[in-house]
Structure 1
Amino acid sequence: MSDKITPQLVLDKAIDHCTAITGGGFPISLYPSKIQRIIREVNDCYGFPVDYVAAAMLAAVSVAIGNTHLARMKEGWDESAILYMALIGRPGANKSHPLSFAMRPFVEHDYEQNRIYEKQYLEYLEQLEMSRKERAEKGIEVCPREPVRRRFLVSDITPEGLSLVHSQNRRGLCLLSDELSAWVKNFNRYNNGSEEQFWLSVFSAKPTMSDRKSSRNSIFIKRPFISVIGTMQKRILSELAKGERSANGFIDRILFVLLRHEKSTRWSMKQPTFDVAAEWQCILSRLMELECAVDQNNDIMPVSIPFSDEAMSRLFEWQHKLSDICDCEPNETLVGIYCKLQIYAIRFCLIIQMARWACNDAGKDMIDLISVERAISLAEYFKESAVKVQTILKELSLTAQQLAIVSALPQEFETGGGIAVAMENGMAERTFMEFLKNNLGKLFQKSSHGKYIKL
């Protein structure tokens, strides 16, 4: 199946090759031409890096889908479109503007809904001041109900507060944070370790329950949907690996977006040839306006989309090959990341199929082979990004002496050559051999007896 060359696959490869030439690595071919056109236009006119804007749009589509649709693998196994994503780059890398652009339709929606809520809340307060007789005379409910604020976005919020907002917006939410490091740093602000466990659970859409001190009732969410996206500087990446986050799989759940070549943005005199914001609003609104069915208990009833036979075969083939890689991979951290990518690949299939539907490029009654092939390309992109992040994290943990030795070592070296470089930098032979041993599969790979490759 994977050896079958289709015209669409050839076209996708050509599109991504052109993107790579301009410095982008994100496979924008996964998007319909309407979205590709927007990505190129904002890159050309506003200088938004392709990877950042394309990834932010992926997260936006995820949020717009929410709990309305799931990808059906088999009976009892459905995957939602939940994503945890971080746009990584140095200060001035132009991370925030692409994120703001992609999320603007939600901001506009939430702003309008807040205006409606404020008006309804004032009316609610007025009704509370009335007597039962006055309410009856005016045709108002005897016991007025407090209005609910409809929304898609949240920012700095505790798990307890988030559970309350989610219970009022069961379709789904997005935690949007311009500085994602603040999200991680707040994990132990109130309860040691509990917030981290909350996010581990939400990622898998496991039922969540929150007991509020101010109420005798518990908030129970049968199928949570909370995507997370934000920006982060490279030097703060180490915050993500603190404590148990590397061991408990938390960091494995984050999709990292890094530029291949970081350059300061050059202002452009070019004007957009069409209204990119309106075009993006139109596409995303089609997803945002999807009906979300509920049962008699007001619980969400998502639509499960199955895979076509050939699409399922291709996805299983890719998963088996990645599992073979995991079986031979000495770095347990990377194994954990690759395993999470297998789950993400299913979610990518759903997001890509729904994005194609929103652009009238495909239906949404079945996930087809095109969506699977594109999801695999996207999973491979994030696989490469994960390896880069692990290298950065390791470098951030190195001493100045260790970093100098790693930098001075050639791409391929023998034990004797490595010892010589270490001694030139003041490190004893025994210390270097221990350093080499402890970093196999992380910084170095053994190619044969006495020979190494720098990763």
Structure 2
Amino acid sequence: MEKNIIPDSVISALMNHAKTSDSDFPVHVFPAKMQRIILELNTTCGFPIDYTASAMLAAISVAIGNTHRVEVKRNWQESAIVYIAIVGRPGDCKSHPLTFVMRPLVNADWKNNQEFQKKHCEYQQAIAMSRKERISAGLEEFPKEPKRLRYLVSDVTQEGLSAIHSHNPRGLCLWVDELSAWFKNFTRYNTGSEEQFWLSAFNGSTTMSDRKNCQNSIFIKRPFISVVGTIQKRLLTELANGERAANGFIDRILFAMTKSNGKPRWNEDEVRDDLDREWERILNRLLSVECVVNEEKEPIPTVMRFTADAKRRLYEWQHENAALCDNEMSDNVVSFFCKLEIYVLRFCLILRLVRWAVSDKEPRPSYIEDDDVAGAIELAEYFRSNALSVLTCISEEKLNELHRTVYEHLTEEFSTADGIRIAERFGMKDHTFKMFLTRNLNTLFRRVRQGWYKKLSCYSTNKVTSDEQD
């Protein structure tokens, strides 16, 4: 466990603040040092807890990269890849927490770029010499062009991304401030292959890319590309446009949302001088882990397995999730729930390694433990709730005029009979209303008990249990 140098009274005070804030994010699954960073940024800068904590998942993900994988069964391994969207209204302080969290990776990229520029200058000077001059100067007879090491990319084509990844086998993170710019550009140069690329990249599937005017193709056996960015709530419907709602694209995204509708107020509290350095130290320890590669420059990750207790807890949760899927009427909801089974494994890997990173322990852990699975499950349930809220937003936006009118006139809680009576007032037949109700369970409505329903909103806590489904 983590060596806790933070007074219990400080952690207790910050956690009490978290309980009274507009956040359902399970901050306690993180080590105490991370908890303090998240909660201090909330109290001093007004950074929403959900945004900072979710951004940290993305940063830890890319810091781990292809150094480790988690194994569930033989030939079934998962990496730490995550796709995270920070959702809010304009002015909701979405970008600032993300910028803070990603700064250590920006700093690392800046240092790597400085080193690259220096080596590239030396390379240019070397190739300007004759072969004899290079030998005389003690340089390599055939100089190799240096490659720029990096962790982050932004506005990049699929082809460009593949080329960068081929020089950085550890992995990359696509960081875009406005995610809408990312998915709107999927057809910028072609008619959809880029969207298919991202569907495949989520699974870490082997990718191949042919460069224009070049005889060589790029072959990446173990791609690792995480994605993080912000998106305005009103643009969520665009995210589900086209085939993205049907082909599983939107299901791969974790949505970070805050229930607060108020803009953070400035205050006189100051941020600790060492807060950013404390976060940088955590990430740097993960970055210090070497990404071992073979002769073909393909990564050879360290494989982590589950203890018996951890696997038992994991399987129990999966059985509960499967029961929810079995009883769910909406295919869109089922798709989200199925992806959570992948994410819970990735969360296990992230939590185990970040807990090692904040400690002084050596060597690195070999197993996923029971508390890692417990924390991963809490993260999965948080993102389940947010996914349902996003589906509610999208479903509400896509209602036709009649359905919207009926929906708006329904009371917050209503019986099936009450709903039919309200629907009939606007010319909707009873069987049409029942179909409307059934098709939108857990997106626009939640069954409270037999024959009774509750309307859902974008920021409601859409917690679903198998009992409610029955």
Q: TM-score range by the shorter chain?
A: over 0.9
CA deviations on 1:208-236 (whole Å, 9 max, x unpaired) are 00011121011000100000000000110
| Alignment CA distance shift 1:319-1:342 (3 Å) | same
Say yes or no: does 1:440 pair with 2:441. no
Separation (CA, whole Å) in 1 of partners of 2:448 and 2:176: 42
Which residue in the other structure is 1:368 paired with?
369
Any conservation in 2 of the 1:446–1:452 contact (CA below 8 Å)? yes
For normalisation by structure 2, the TM-score amounts to 0.89
Separation (CA, whole Å) in 1 of partners of 2:22 and 2:451: 37
Say yes or no: does 1:50 pair with 2:36. no
| Alignment CA distance shift 1:309-1:187 (3 Å) | same
| Alignment CA distance shift 1:37-1:366 (3 Å) | same
Any conservation in 2 of the 1:62–1:81 contact (CA below 8 Å)? yes
Separation (CA, whole Å) in 1 of partners of 2:347 and 2:132: 56
Aligned pairs for 1:195-206 (under 5 A) are 195-206=194-205
| Alignment CA distance shift 1:134-1:61 (3 Å) | same
Separation (CA, whole Å) in 1 of partners of 2:236 and 2:12: 31
CA deviations on 1:289-327 (whole Å, 9 max, x unpaired) are 111111122110100011111001100110011101110
Residue 280 of structure 1 aligns to which amino acid in structure 2? W
Residue 235 of structure 1 aligns to which amino acid in structure 2? R
Separation (CA, whole Å) in 2 of partners of 1:240 and 1:127: 49
Which residue in the other structure is 1:379 paired with?
380
Separation (CA, whole Å) in 2 of partners of 1:141 and 1:215: 26
Which residue in the other structure is 2:317 paired with?
318
| Alignment CA distance shift 1:158-1:449 (3 Å) | same
Residue 350 of structure 2 aligns to which amino acid in structure 1? I
Q: Secondary structure at the match of 1:107?
A: helix
Separation (CA, whole Å) in 2 of partners of 1:17 and 1:79: 35
Any conservation in 1 of the 2:14–2:39 contact (CA below 8 Å)? no
Which residue in the other structure is 1:179 paired with?
178
Any conservation in 1 of the 2:169–2:297 contact (CA below 8 Å)? no
Separation (CA, whole Å) in 2 of partners of 1:286 and 1:89: 32
Separation (CA, whole Å) in 2 of partners of 1:447 and 1:101: 41
Alpha-carbon offset, residue 262 of structure 1: 2.6
Which residue in the other structure is 1:407 paired with?
408
Q: Secondary structure at the match of 1:304?
A: strand
Q: Secondary structure at the match of 2:295?
A: coil
Alpha-carbon offset, residue 435 of structure 1: 5.0
Any conservation in 2 of the 1:16–1:27 contact (CA below 8 Å)? no
Which residue in the other structure is 1:39 paired with?
38
Any conservation in 2 of the 1:445–1:452 contact (CA below 8 Å)? yes
Separation (CA, whole Å) in 2 of partners of 1:388 and 1:292: 38
Residue 438 of structure 1 aligns to which amino acid in structure 2? F
Alpha-carbon offset, residue 402 of structure 1: 3.5
| Alignment CA distance shift 1:15-1:338 (3 Å) | farther
Alpha-carbon offset, residue 414 of structure 1: 3.6
Residue 185 of structure 1 aligns to which amino acid in structure 2? K
Separation (CA, whole Å) in 2 of partners of 1:210 and 1:435: 49
Which residue in the other structure is 1:62 paired with?
61
Say yes or no: does 1:98 pair with 2:118. no
Alpha-carbon offset, residue 141 of structure 1: 1.9
Tell me the matched-pair count: 441
Separation (CA, whole Å) in 2 of partners of 1:401 and 1:335: 27
Which residue in the other structure is 2:250 paired with?
251
Separation (CA, whole Å) in 2 of partners of 1:21 and 1:40: 12
Alpha-carbon offset, residue 453 of structure 1: 4.1
Which residue in the other structure is 2:269 paired with?
270
Separation (CA, whole Å) in 1 of partners of 2:12 and 2:388: 22
Q: Secondary structure at the match of 1:256?
A: strand
Q: Secondary structure at the match of 2:228?
A: strand
Residue 455 of structure 2 aligns to which amino acid in structure 1? K
Residue 310 of structure 1 aligns to which amino acid in structure 2? D
CA deviations on 1:318-344 (whole Å, 9 max, x unpaired) are 001110111011111111111100110
Any conservation in 2 of the 1:32–1:361 contact (CA below 8 Å)? no
Separation (CA, whole Å) in 1 of partners of 2:224 and 2:79: 8
Any conservation in 2 of the 1:96–1:178 contact (CA below 8 Å)? yes
Separation (CA, whole Å) in 1 of partners of 2:450 and 2:47: 47
Aligned pairs for 1:165-244 (under 5 A) are 165-244=164-243
Separation (CA, whole Å) in 1 of partners of 2:389 and 2:212: 44
Alpha-carbon offset, residue 450 of structure 1: 6.5
CA deviations on 1:29-77 (whole Å, 9 max, x unpaired) are 1110011111111111111111100110111111100000111112211
Q: Secondary structure at the match of 2:175?
A: strand
Consecutive unaligned residues of structure 1, counting only runs of 5 or more, are 1-11
Which residue in the other structure is 1:332 paired with?
331
Alpha-carbon offset, residue 278 of structure 1: 0.6
Which residue in the other structure is 1:392 paired with?
393
Residue 367 of structure 1 aligns to which amino acid in structure 2? I
| Alignment CA distance shift 1:18-1:317 (3 Å) | farther
| Alignment CA distance shift 1:446-1:42 (3 Å) | closer
Which residue in the other structure is 2:466 paired with?
none
Separation (CA, whole Å) in 2 of partners of 1:14 and 1:419: 50
